[in-house]
A and B are shown apart, each in its own frame.
Chain A
Amino acid sequence: MPYLLQQLLTLSAKQNPNQEAVIYKNRGMTYEELERASNQLAHILRINGIERGDRVGIYLNKSLESVVAIFGILKAGAVYVPLDPSAPVKRVAFIIGNCGMKALVSTQRKMTGLLTALPDSSPVRCLILADEDAPTDDGTASRAKKVAWPEVLQQPANSPPSVPVIEDDLAYILYTSGSTGEPKGVMISHRASLTFVDWAYECFQVQATDRVSNHAPLHFDLSIFDIFTTIKAGATVILVPEELTIFPVNLANFIEEQRITIWYSVPSALTRLVLHGNLESHRFPHLRTILFAGEVFPVKYLRQLKTLIPHAEYYNLYGPTETNVCTFYQVKDIPPDRVDPFPIGKACANTEVFAINDRNEIAKPGEVGELYARGPSLMKGYWGMPEKTKTVLVPHPVHPPLWEERVYRIGDLVKQDEEGNYLFLGRRDNMIKSRGYRIELGEIETALYSHPKIEEVAAIAIPDEQIGNAIKAVVVAREAAELTKGELESFCSKRIPKYMIPDIIEFRTSLPKTSTGKVDRTLLLKEHLEGQSVK
Chain B
Amino acid sequence: MQHIEQVIKDYIVKEFMYNESGKVLDNDLPIIQEGIVDSLGIFKLVGFIEEQFGIKIQPDDIVLENFETVRAIQGLVTTKLSSTP
A interface with B by C-beta (< 8 Å)? 86, 88, 242-250, 272, 276-278, 435, 486, 489-490, 493-494, 498-499
- Given the complex, which residues of A lie within 8 Å of B40, measured CB to CB? 435, 498-499
Main secondary structure of the interface of B (DSSP, over half): loop
- Given the complex, which residues of A lie within 8 Å of B67, measured CB to CB? 247
Beta-carbon contact of B32 and A243 below 8 Å: yes
Is B85 part of the binding interface, using a Cβ–Cβ cutoff of 8 Å? no
Beta-carbon contact of B42 and A246 below 8 Å: yes
- Given the complex, which residues of B lie within 8 Å of A243, measured CB to CB? 32-33, 64
Cα separation A181 to B36 with both chains bound (whole Å): 25
The residue in B18, B32, B39, B59 that gathers the most chain A C-beta atoms within 10 A of its C-beta is B39
Q: Pick the residue among B32, B35, B39, B62 that contacts A249 (CB under 8 A).
A: B62
Beta-carbon contact of A493 and B62 below 8 Å: no
Is B24 part of the binding interface, using a Cβ–Cβ cutoff of 8 Å? no
Shortest C-beta distance, A435 to chain B (Å), equals 7
- Given the complex, which residues of B lie within 8 Å of A435, measured CB to CB? 39-40
What sequence of 0s and 1s flags, for each residue 54-85 of chain B, a beta carbon within 8 Å of any chain A beta carbon?
00000110111001000000000000000000
Beta-carbon contact of B63 and A250 below 8 Å: yes
- Given the complex, which residues of A lie within 8 Å of B3, measured CB to CB? none
Shortest C-beta distance, B10 to chain A (Å), equals 13
Assess A276 versus B62: contact at CB under 8 Å? Given A86-B38, A246-B32, A246-B38.
yes
Given A246-B38, A249-B59, A249-B63, 7 extra CB contacts under 8 A: A86-B35, A243-B32, A247-B62, A247-B67, A248-B62, A250-B63, A272-B39
Beta-carbon contact of A278 and B60 below 8 Å: yes
Beta-carbon contact of A493 and B18 below 8 Å: yes
Beta-carbon contact of A246 and B14 below 8 Å: no
Give the top 5 A-B pairs by smallest Cβ distance, nearest first.
Answer: A490-B18, A493-B19, A246-B39, A243-B32, A249-B63
Which residue of chain A has its CB nearest to the CB of B18? A490
Which residue of chain B has its CB nearest to the CB of A490? B18
B interface with A by C-beta (< 8 Å)? 14, 18-19, 32-33, 35, 37-40, 42, 59-60, 62-64, 67
Beta-carbon contact of A247 and B63 below 8 Å: yes
- Given the complex, which residues of A lie within 8 Å of B14, measured CB to CB? 486
Cα separation A272 to B40 with both chains bound (whole Å): 11
Shortest C-beta distance, B42 to chain A (Å), equals 5
Q: Pick the residue among B19, B35, B37, B38 that contacts A490 (CB under 8 A).
A: B19
Beta-carbon contact of B18 and A498 below 8 Å: no
Shortest C-beta distance, B76 to chain A (Å), equals 13
Cα separation A535 to B33 with both chains bound (whole Å): 39
10 residue pairs from A and B, CB less than 8 Å apart: A88-B19, A243-B64, A246-B38, A247-B62, A247-B63, A248-B62, A249-B63, A272-B39, A276-B62, A278-B59
Shortest C-beta distance, A250 to chain B (Å), equals 5
Which residue of chain B has its CB nearest to the CB of A86? B35
The residue in B18, B37, B60 that gathers the most chain A C-beta atoms within 10 A of its C-beta is B18
Shortest C-beta distance, A47 to chain B (Å), equals 33
- Given the complex, which residues of B lie within 8 Å of A88, measured CB to CB? 19
- Given the complex, which residues of B lie within 8 Å of A498, measured CB to CB? 38, 40
The residue in A86, A244, A247, A490 that gathers the most chain B C-beta atoms within 10 A of its C-beta is A247
Cα separation A242 to B37 with both chains bound (whole Å): 12
Cα separation A371 to B41 with both chains bound (whole Å): 36
Q: Pick the residue among B19, B35, B38, B62 that contacts A494 (CB under 8 A).
A: B19
The residue in B37, B63, B67 that gathers the most chain A C-beta atoms within 10 A of its C-beta is B63
Shortest C-beta distance, B58 to chain A (Å), equals 9
Shortest C-beta distance, A407 to chain B (Å), equals 36
- Given the complex, which residues of A lie within 8 Å of B33, measured CB to CB? 243
Cα separation A247 to B59 with both chains bound (whole Å): 10
Cα separation A493 to B63 with both chains bound (whole Å): 26
Shortest C-beta distance, B56 to chain A (Å), equals 14
- Given the complex, which residues of B lie within 8 Å of A244, measured CB to CB? 64
Cα separation A277 to B60 with both chains bound (whole Å): 8
- Given the complex, which residues of A lie within 8 Å of B35, measured CB to CB? 86, 242
Cα separation A244 to B42 with both chains bound (whole Å): 12
- Given the complex, which residues of B lie within 8 Å of A250, measured CB to CB? 63-64
Cα separation A396 to B68 with both chains bound (whole Å): 54
Beta-carbon contact of A247 and B38 below 8 Å: no
- Given the complex, which residues of B lie within 8 Å of A490, measured CB to CB? 18-19
Which residue of chain B has its CB nearest to the CB of A499? B40
- Given the complex, which residues of A lie within 8 Å of B63, measured CB to CB? 247, 249-250
- Given the complex, which residues of B lie within 8 Å of A493, measured CB to CB? 18-19
Beta-carbon contact of A247 and B42 below 8 Å: yes
Cα separation A278 to B59 with both chains bound (whole Å): 7
Which residue of chain B has its CB nearest to the CB of A272? B39
Shortest C-beta distance, B30 to chain A (Å), equals 9
Shortest C-beta distance, A152 to chain B (Å), equals 25
